């Protein structure tokens, strides 16, 4: 079942049908190509959809996509806008950490897209939330109900989602004014030079690889990431990162820019494996980046709310492998990860 549905009201907002007459120079052209040139406000894809849906007639007869135009033919097309899609509920696994009348906090799984977009019409976090909770805030739009912030597809961890419009606006304002506390756990390559620090490098779209951002350009949007070392593991460092701004791929771009890409993040230059002691560990299946905690003011009471998202099993297992390869005892591993596993 498709988890995006069409809005029938949009289909009803059709403009008056356009009638075109094919000239002799148009003879032999495919109908969709003729219409793409004659009705430039419609994309070729949308024209093909309209033909298949019976909204294009040639000399009064419903046309086919394969039709070739003949001179003097009368072509009538109903110029319908593409219906705005809406997300539909879908029964998917969902880890809810905190449920409230105003919002929920969940532990997003790595690999799950937050909302529908290019190439992702189903299987999203929004689809799962609609199935579990029913209505969410409408302020985010039909494809992003309740969504006030996002995590990258391969980043796991704590996310807050609004359940009503008032809460949505309140939470969105906290994000805009940078009053939300966001703490991430990341395993990065290399030895961090100090025990703590701040990265303040502007972030912009990478002009050579448009799927990623860069913090190596002289211009961009202001971004600030605070960090502190949690554990040193030979050629890797486990760090806690605090986001003071919320730019796209901020942690990934910032640590890559200072020569310490996140383990598993090959998009930002991470090696394809980790050397731990005498062992070469295979490439992690995703980025070692987890949104460990999120804190904000309650939209109704104003009380401070802070929720921890336990470290997922795949990252815990990988950290254990790295530490064990360096001769760490189980007690040392438990001590390093204690604030990030289980509920407080």
pLDDT score of 84:
65
pLDDT score of 289:
98
Domain match, 67 and 114 both: no
| Sign of the dihedral through C-alpha 318, 321, 322, 323 | positive
- Distance, CA of 289 to CA of 265 (rounded, Å): 9
pLDDT score of 102:
98
Domain match, 230 and 269 both: yes
pLDDT top residue among 290 and 15: 290
3-class DSSP state of 310? coil
CATH code where residue 323 lies: 3.30.2350.10
Domain match, 58 and 159 both: no
pLDDT score of 288:
98
126 in any annotated domain: yes
3-class DSSP state of 160? strand
Q: What is the DSSP letter of 143?
A: S
pLDDT band at 7 (very low <50, low <70, confident <90, very high): very low
| Sign of the dihedral through C-alpha 260, 265, 271, 275 | positive
Give pLDDT tens digits for 76-122: 999 877 666 678 899 999 999 999 999 999 999 999 999 877 556 68
344 in any annotated domain: yes
pLDDT band at 126 (very low <50, low <70, confident <90, very high): very high
| 254 and 243 Cβ atoms separated by less than 8 Å | no
* Active-site residue, 206 included: no
Give pLDDT tens digits for 201-256: 999 999 999 899 999 998 999 999 999 999 999 999 999 999 999 999 999 999 99
Tokens encoding 245: 């701004």
Q: For residue 13, is pLDDT > 60? A: no
* pLDDT average, residue stretch 8-36: 79
299 in any annotated domain: no
Domain match, 127 and 28 both: no
**What is the reported pTM?**
0.78
Domain match, 289 and 209 both: yes
pLDDT band at 12 (very low <50, low <70, confident <90, very high): very low
Domain match, 189 and 331 both: yes
Domain match, 34 and 124 both: no
Domain match, 151 and 277 both: no
Domain's final residue, options 177, 208, 229? 177
pLDDT score of 10:
41
The residue behind tokens 């604030």 is 339
201 in any annotated domain: yes
pLDDT band at 343 (very low <50, low <70, confident <90, very high): low
Other beta carbons within 10 Å of 4: 18
pLDDT top residue among 116 and 54: 54
224 in any annotated domain: yes
Domain match, 230 and 316 both: yes
Considering 26, 32, 152, 265, which one is annotated as catalytic? 152
Domain match, 101 and 173 both: yes
Domain match, 238 and 335 both: yes
Mean pLDDT over the full length of the chain: 91
Domain's final residue, options 77, 95, 125? 77
Element of type H or E holding 107: strand 103-108
Domains in the chain, number: 3
13 in any annotated domain: no
Contacts of 208 (CB under 8 A, 6+ apart): none
pLDDT score of 41:
83
Q: Burial code of 324-338, b = ≥16 C-beta within 10 A, e = fewer?
A: ebbebeeeebeebbe
Residue 30 domain boundaries: 18-77
pLDDT band at 160 (very low <50, low <70, confident <90, very high): very high
Q: For residue 29, what are the CA distances in angstroms to 50, 68, 99? A: 18, 5, 59
* pLDDT average, residue stretch 174-182: 97
* Portion of the chain with pLDDT greater than 90, in percent: 77
- Distance, CA of 83 to CA of 229 (rounded, Å): 50
Range with lowest mean pLDDT among 14-18, 109-113, 158-162, 258-262 = 14-18
233 in any annotated domain: yes
- Strand extents, DSSP E, 190-326: 196-199, 204-205, 213-214, 225-233, 236-243, 274-276, 279-281, 289-297, 304-308
The residue behind tokens 């701004």 is 245
Burial class (CB in 10 A: 0-12, 13-18, 19+), 317: exposed
Closest CA to 183 of 228, 254, 242, 250: 242
* pLDDT average, residue stretch 145-166: 96
207 in any annotated domain: yes
pLDDT score of 140:
85
Domain match, 278 and 186 both: yes
| Sign of the dihedral through C-alpha 335, 182, 107, 314 | negative
Other beta carbons within 10 Å of 2: 10
- Distance, CA of 95 to CA of 245 (rounded, Å): 26
């Amino acid at each position: 079942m498709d988890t995006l549905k069409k809005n029938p009201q949009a289909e009803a907002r059709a403009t008056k049908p356009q009638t075109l007459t094919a000239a002799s120079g148009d003879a032999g052209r495919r109908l969709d190509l003729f219409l793409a040139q004659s009705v430039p406000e419609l994309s070729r894809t949308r024209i093909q959809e309209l033909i298949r849906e019976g909204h294009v007639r040639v000399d009064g007869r419903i046309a086919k996509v394969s039709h070739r135009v003949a001179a003097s033919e009368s072509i009538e097309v109903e110029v319908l806008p593409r219906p705005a899609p809406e997300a539909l509920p879908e029964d998917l696994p969902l880890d809810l950490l905190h449920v409230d009348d105003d919002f929920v906090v969940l532990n997003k799984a790595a690999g799950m897209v937050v909302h529908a977009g290019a190439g992702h019409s189903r299987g999203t976090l929004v689809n799962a939330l609609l199935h579990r909770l029913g209505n969410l805030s409408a302020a985010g739009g039909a494809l992003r109900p309740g969504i006030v912030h996002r995590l990258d597809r391969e980043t796991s961890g704590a996310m807050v989602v609004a359940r009503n419009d008032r809460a949505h606006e309140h939470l969105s304002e906290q994000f805009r004014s940078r009053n939300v506390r966001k703490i991430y756990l990341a395993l990065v390559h290399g030895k961090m030079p100090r025990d703590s620090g701040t990265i303040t490098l502007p972030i912009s779209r990478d002009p050579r690889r448009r799927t990623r951002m860069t913090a190596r350009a002289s211009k961009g949007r202001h971004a600030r990431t605070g960090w502190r070392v949690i554990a040193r593991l030979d050629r890797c460092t486990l760090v806690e990162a605090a986001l003071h701004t919320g730019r796209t791929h901020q942690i990934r771009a910032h640590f890559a820019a200072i020569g310490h890409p996140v383990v598993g993040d090959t998009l930002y230059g991470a090696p394809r494996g980790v050397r731990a002691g005498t062992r070469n560990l295979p490439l992690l299946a995703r980025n070692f980046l987890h949104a460990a905690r999120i804190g904000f003011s309650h939209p109704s009471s104003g009380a401070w709310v802070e929720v921890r998202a336990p470290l997922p099993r795949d990252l815990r297992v990988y950290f254990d492998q790295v530490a064990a390869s360096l001769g760490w005892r189980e007690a040392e591993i438990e001590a390093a990860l204690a604030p990030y596993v289980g509920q407080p």
